Amino acid sequence: MFSKIMVPVDLVHKDTLSKALDVAGDMAKRHGASIDVVSVGGELPGQLGHTPQEFGDRLQGFADELRDKYGVTVKADPLMAHDPAVETNSELMKAIEKTGADLVIMASHKPGFLEHIFSSHGGYIAQHAQCSVFVVR
């Protein structure tokens, strides 16, 4: 049913991703799918690396951990943006096309007041993606 699962991650908050990652690992095993872990980083030094290469290396390490944990193929796709806070949604939409994902599994938080005014990343992707989207709270 699914062959390519894309999982957007924010490594700064990787401790909150376990439910979504478990769902992705289970779905990948069940359907014989591969997982593309994507993360949007900035071109300037930040918490996750001083260079885009360091950011990519950290994401690759995370992907390797997931591969070992779930026993499925996991690829790291670091995405670079001038302003990740503004460009995350558009970069994720481009990544869906680039990876050929037929399922996106995203972690999300319980919606609050601001989500009634501004869509969350998960809400935006679910509303605009041409593939299936599973938002996990």
The model's pLDDT over 90-120, given as tens digits with 9 standing for 90+, comes to 999 999 999 999 999 999 866 554 444 455 7
Residue 109 pLDDT: 65
User: Is residue 68's pLDDT more than 80?
Assistant: yes
Q: Where are the domains of the chain?
A: 4-136
Residue 116 pLDDT: 44
Residue 38 pLDDT: 98
75 near 95, Cβ under 8 Å? Answer: no
Closest CA relative to residue 123, chosen from 62, 137, 67: 137
Tokens representing 88 are 């995350």
- The CATH class for the domain spanning 4-136 reads alpha beta
Q: Diameter of the chain by CA atoms?
A: 40
Q: Which DSSP symbol is given to 14?
A: G
User: Is residue 8's pLDDT more than 80?
Assistant: yes
